[in-house]
Amino acid sequence: MSKVDRRILKSQEAIKKAIIELMSEKNFDDITIQDISDRANVNRGTIYLHYQDKYDLLDKLIEEHINEMRGICTWACEMDWSDATVVLFEYFERNYLFFSTMLASKGAPSFRSRFLEFLIEEFKDEVNLTDEKNRGLNEDVMLRFMGTAYVGTVEWWIMNGMPHPPHVMANQVGILLERIV
Amino acid sequence: MSKVDRRILKSQEAIKKAIIELMSEKNFDDITIQDISDRANVNRGTIYLHYQDKYDLLDKLIEEHINEMRGICTWACEMDWSDATVVLFEYFERNYLFFSTMLASKGAPSFRSRFLEFLIEEFKDEVNLTDEKNRGLNEDVMLRFMGTAYVGTVEWWIMNGMPHPPHVMANQVGILLERIV
DNA sequence: TTAGTTTTGTTCAAAAATCAACAAAACGAG
DNA sequence: CTCGTTTTGTTGATTTTTGAACAAAACTAA
């Protein structure tokens, strides 16, 4: 865990913040590297020091959030399922601009499917097919069912300006998930 | 007007913002260089690259604001006095944390007098002693009178959380100043 | 006082970011 | 298509910032 030079962190933070802001304002295709460097207040060349191009930047940004969420899930594994969900919803809230932009219709269409894929992966360890209750149920169907429900609910919550606090959402979703699994 | 490297601007901005924040939280004497660099998220050595010590930093910070205000005054000289005052009050509002910290009882005692000194300097060009109306009036007394009134009013406005919008304050102060001068 | 801790101010080599310049690619209007 | 403009991705020389280290000074508590 060799710590990273703070200049790298600062530059990358500024660049990532910039592209999220810009994506919330205009179409991804219309964003130039110059736009990003202007907004981030870094030299244009600095962006190329960290990313191949704007697609690579978007990929890395998404993947970072996925990893962050994976970290939260494994870290919160010891807790109750409902408690773990609270932490996730607080993460969504904290990164509101990212999720609202990415889940918006004009947003990155790749993110929704990547998000779903991640959730299914996480649910995999939670479903128990050997359980009496789940006799005759197909795993892929169950995972898909839970995953889309989760994504869809988060999407609704975010796109409607987070009408309930995270812990309420987490509680509701937690109850519903418990019933399924 | 050779433009300054953006890294210098960013570092100095972060450092200045840091010391203002810290001064609003604790006594100036209790603030260490390490505190400032931590808050600004820059290396401790970077501060010494730009300032002698924390006293020099505070001096430069104050003097920068004085210069900024002087710029506004000369730039707004062509306008009506009342309009110029609006721009100044908007400047106070924009830099609320700085002014509230500096004018607070625990703040930098040097700032209040420096501020007053600046205002008197600016008023000097505005008073006309040859005017019939001002016969028998002493210039120093007039300037002191106007200056302390101005500082005191700004101080009241800032320390009370800016109860009126800048243009209202500017209008009131403008009217009162017109009556005096 | 003394010993132990914190803070200061400075040094160094290394890393990152900067600006300016460039050719190539992509784009858009006529 | 063609010309002119914009954007891209890369280069190199220079500047700023970094982290780590250090001795000296200042502070604290016993």
On whether residue B98 sits in a domain, the answer given is: yes
pLDDT at A36 over 90: yes
Q: Are B112 and B139 contained in the same domain?
A: yes
Q: Are B40 and B79 contained in the same domain?
A: no
What Å value separates CA A76 and C1' C26?
48
On whether residue B56 sits in a domain, the answer given is: no
On whether residue A56 sits in a domain, the answer given is: no
On whether residue A81 sits in a domain, the answer given is: yes
Rounded to an integer, what distance in angstroms lies between the CA atom of residue A65 and that of residue A91?
10
Q: Are B112 and B72 contained in the same domain?
A: yes
Which A residues, 27 through 66, put their C-beta within 8 Å of a C-beta on chain B?
41-43
Mean pLDDT of B3-20: 97
Mean pLDDT of A94-121: 92
Interface test with B, best of A10, A12, A37, A39 (most B CBs within 10 A): A10
The pair of three-digit structure tokens given for residue B51, joined into one six-digit string = 């300032």
On whether residue B103 sits in a domain, the answer given is: yes
- Whether residue B147 contacts residue B119, with contact meaning beta carbons closer than 8 Å, is answered with yes
Q: How many helices (H) and strands (E) does chain B have?
A: 9, 0
Q: Are B71 and B140 contained in the same domain?
A: yes
Q: Are B37 and B80 contained in the same domain?
A: no
By the CB < 8 Å criterion, does A10 face chain B?
yes
Burial label for B106, CB within 10 Å (0-12, 13-18, 19+), is: exposed
Query: Which positions ≥6 away from A98 have C-beta within 8 Å?
Result: A20, A61, A65
Q: Are A17 and A83 contained in the same domain?
A: no
Distance from the Cα of A11 to chain B's closest Cα (Å) equals: 11
The pair of three-digit structure tokens given for residue A120, joined into one six-digit string = 């299914």
Which nt sits closest to B30, CA to C1'? Answer: C7
What CATH number is associated with residue A84? 1.10.357.10
On whether residue B157 sits in a domain, the answer given is: yes
The predicted pLDDT at position A25 comes to 95
On whether residue A57 sits in a domain, the answer given is: no
Strand C: positions under 7 A of a protein C-beta atom: 6-12, 15-21
Protein residues contacting strand C, judged by Cβ under 7 Å: A 5, 7-8, 10-11, 41-46, 49-50; B 3, 5-7, 10, 32-34, 44-45, 48, 53-54
pLDDT at B136 over 80: yes
Q: Are B29 and B93 contained in the same domain?
A: no
Find, in chain B, the residue whose alpha carbon is nearest to that of A43.
Answer: B6
Q: Are B38 and B65 contained in the same domain?
A: no
Long-range contacts of A32-41 (CB under 8 A, 24+ apart): A40/A11, A40/A14, A40/A15, A41/A14, A41/B6, A41/B10
What CATH number is associated with residue B30? 1.10.10.60
Average pLDDT along chain A: 92
The pair of three-digit structure tokens given for residue A96, joined into one six-digit string = 């509101």
pLDDT at B129 over 80: no
Rounded to an integer, what distance in angstroms lies between the CA atom of residue A169 and that of residue A156?
11
Residue numbers in A near B10 (CB within 8 A): 41
Provide the phi-psi class of A164: left if phi over 0, else alpha when psi is between -120 and 50, else beta. Answer: beta
Q: Are B83 and B162 contained in the same domain?
A: yes
Banded model confidence at residue B176, pLDDT cuts 50, 70, 90: very high
- R_g over Cα of chain B: 18
Mean pLDDT of A53-68: 97
- Whether residue A120 contacts residue A147, with contact meaning beta carbons closer than 8 Å, is answered with yes
Q: Are B86 and B171 contained in the same domain?
A: yes
Q: Are B66 and B110 contained in the same domain?
A: yes
The predicted pLDDT at position B17 comes to 98
Query: Which positions ≥6 away from A112 have C-beta within 8 Å?
Result: A102, A103, A151, A155
Query: Which positions ≥6 away from A29 have C-beta within 8 Å?
Result: none
Each residue's pLDDT tens digit, B58-76:
999 999 999 999 999 988 7
Which residues form the domain of A121? 62-180
Banded model confidence at residue A75, pLDDT cuts 50, 70, 90: confident
Cβ of A65 near strand D (under 7 Å)? The reply is no
Number of domains in chain B: 2
Rounded to an integer, what distance in angstroms lies between the CA atom of residue B15 and that of residue B41?
8
Each residue's pLDDT tens digit, A8-28:
999 999 999 999 999 999 999
Count of CB contacts below 8 A, A vs B?
Answer: 8
Each residue's pLDDT tens digit, B80-118:
767 778 999 999 999 999 999 999 877 777 899 999 999
Mean pLDDT of B139-146: 94
Q: Are B33 and B89 contained in the same domain?
A: no
The predicted pLDDT at position B78 comes to 73
Rounded to an integer, what distance in angstroms lies between the CA atom of residue B100 and that of residue B108?
11
CA angle B147, B149, B153 (to 5 degrees): 120
By the CB < 8 Å criterion, does B10 face chain A?
yes
CA dihedral B119, B123, B124, B126 (to 10 degrees): 170
Each residue's pLDDT tens digit, B27-67:
999 999 999 999 999 999 999 999 999 999 999 999 999 99
Strand D: positions under 7 A of a protein C-beta atom: 6-12, 15-21
